[in-house]
Structure 1
Amino acid sequence: MSRVGKYPVTVPAGVTITVKDNVVTAKGKLGEMTYTAAGEVETRLEDNLIWVKPLSETKHARQQWGTTRARINNLVRGVSEGFSRKLELVGVGYKAAAQGKVLKLSLGFSHDVDFPIPEDLKITTPAPNQIEISGVDKQRVGQIASEIRSYRSPEPYKGKGVKYAGEQILRKEGKKK
């Protein structure tokens, strides 16, 4: 039995949900998103609650049960509140600047890295060493944050690089004499 799937998704005020043929569409103040559920589960809307039930007791149907419920919950949260990830740049001379549709990163290379800002996301730089990525789709926000982090991942000796806000970098001991 799925521990996640057995709970309904609560629809907050200001969000309109339509369920038709396992296609869930959510409209909110931040935008509109759709999700097509797997064929092994059934989704239905009752009194501002979205219920997800497996159609059979196969292993794959039970796996899709919890996954579908979690994805629908992220869909509803995304159009009502949105998602954001914060990145920090640690290192001498490491800085970021959002210029129009391009995020310009100075990460200690011989050249600046120009990262094109996707249309569906908002990327801001509140400080030269901070990047904030926000959007409606949780997966997309995390993917773009991961791509930016991959340009210069934190190294274990000094901790220099691009890291998530609040991320703990395991430090290694340096060379011994």
Structure 2
Amino acid sequence: MSEPTGAPYAPPPGAYVLPPGYVPGAQYAPPPGYGAPAAYALPPSYGAPATRGSSVLGLVALWAALIAAVGTSIVGAVAGWSIGLGVGTEFATSPLDANFDWSILSPVRGWVLTGESAFWTGTVVGICAIVLGIAAIVKNQRRGAGIAAVIIAALGPIVFAVGVQVLIATGLAAGTSVAG
């Protein structure tokens, strides 16, 4: 390390030299004849927090999800019970092989159509509930209801499948025991 020589610091040749009297961070007055610059501000749409809109969208999504998940599952389960009860005897007496005879469902074709209609209605209404729920979340219109709608509508097919399968099996067991 070298010893200080006491000579003032001289910038290297070609370096930028600050103007005389420059004080870093100091505020300067505008030149005569010019006003102070207007402060830059963001438009209110950027700086303002998102306002809460109407609460209708989230509630519609939630009701649609409940209809899709719970309502159609109940209708499908009742149809499954009736199908199992109606074909229990034929199902129990027919051989179990690769060629299933679909004609045993003909006495309960009305219930089969009801179950299928419940399935497709739940599918369409559930998809609408998911879309409306996402829109409610994005637009901040009952965000909690929108989140609940998306979750309930996503779980709806599982609720439908479990409910229908359990009640078809229960109906088959009850239909088989009635005959035997």
- TM value normalised by structure 2: 0.21
Give the helix-richer structure, 1 or 2.
Answer: 2
Q: In terms of Rg, which structure is larger?
A: 2
Give the strand-richer structure, 1 or 2.
Answer: 1
Specify which structure has the bigger relative contact order, considering alpha-carbon pairs within 8 angstroms and separated by 6 or more residues.
2
